[in-house]
Structure 1
Amino acid sequence: MSGRVLVVDDNKVIRQLIRVNLELEGFEVVTAADGVEALDIVHRVCPDVVTLDVVMPRLDGLRTAARLREDPRTAQLPVAIISACTQHEVESGFAAGVDAFLAKPFEPVELVRLVRQLVRREGPPSADGRHEAGQAGRTVG
């Protein structure tokens, strides 16, 4: 059993792309279309990792990550942002408690490696090499 991943993205095509890539590697995948839906189901599905897009209707990825951190039941849950992020969003994400970033468009192998590392709690890689700006030494609490 590789683990269960909650994939949150308002783009159905991207949700399916992430789902297929993770399921091929043995992960169980549950999806949500935005942060509100993710917060609604996270306690029912009890994922090992959550992936979040940043720009979503109703509740964006950074605010969703912050809500997950505020809830004692999900405070330690590994969270990765999968988005075409700006440096500002990366910094805001770390401030909100996000563990790792993967820039869109992503390579499927990078997605799988990132999720595996978070499931194992080995600590995140340095985003994708493009967003290292002083965050490389950060460890997962």
Structure 2
Amino acid sequence: MLVVDDDEVIRQLIAVNLSLEGFEVETATDGQDCLDRVASVRPDVITLDVMMPRLDGWMTAARLRGAAETGHIKIMMITARAQEEDRRRGLAIGVDAYLTKPFDPAELIQAVRELALAARAPGG
């Protein structure tokens, strides 16, 4: 599990909630940090903020989807951008789930659990 958000408070909130549910969690501070670390972390699921410095969530998701080594990783966008056009953009890139801030921790955990199960399923 790799949690990517430039806001330290949000990043730690997500990481702690998922850790308490038994997920092994690593964190990254922005999209470039995510891409730099993804090979060593080898996550089943990545949560991505949209608005980040250096490399935003849209470009990060597109690069993850476009690479053979990372194209299979489940991606959940967690963002304050709640417009329908943002959701459509995420779906077009291949994002697996979309959660808007502020979010309910129980909803976060359930969505990540479902993505992790799907990642481990045959052909996942």
Ranked by relative contact order (alpha carbons within 8 Å, sequence separation 6 or more), the top structure is 2
Structure 1 moving runs of 4+ over 3 Å? none
Distance 1:8 1:20 in 2: 13
Paired residues, number:
120
Counterpart selection for 2:55 from 30, 46, 59: 59
Distance 1:64 1:87 in 2: 20
The match for 2:88 is 91
Q: Which runs of 5+ in 2 are unaligned?
A: none
List per-residue Cα deviations over 1:28-73 (Å, max 9, x = no partner): 1100010000000001000010000000001110110000001001
After TM superposition, give the deviation of residue 121 of structure 1 in Å. Answer: 0.8
Counterpart selection for 1:114 from 96, 111, 114: 111
After TM superposition, give the deviation of residue 88 of structure 1 in Å. Answer: 1.4
Q: Which runs of 5+ in 1 are unaligned?
A: 123-140
For the Cα contact (< 8 Å) 1:63–1:96, is it kept in 2? Answer: no
Which has the larger helix fraction? 2
Distance 2:18 2:69 in 1: 24
Matched, 1:35 2:41: no
The match for 1:79 is 75
Distance 2:16 2:70 in 1: 25
The match for 2:101 is 104
Counterpart selection for 1:46 from 34, 42, 46: 42
Instruction: Tell which deviates more after alignment, 7-16 or 82-91.
Output: 82-91
After TM superposition, give the deviation of residue 84 of structure 1 in Å. Answer: 1.3
Distance 2:116 2:93 in 1: 19
Q: Scaled by the length of structure 2, what TM-score is found? A: 0.93
Q: CA RMSD in A?
A: 1.4
What letter matches 2:7 in structure 1?
N
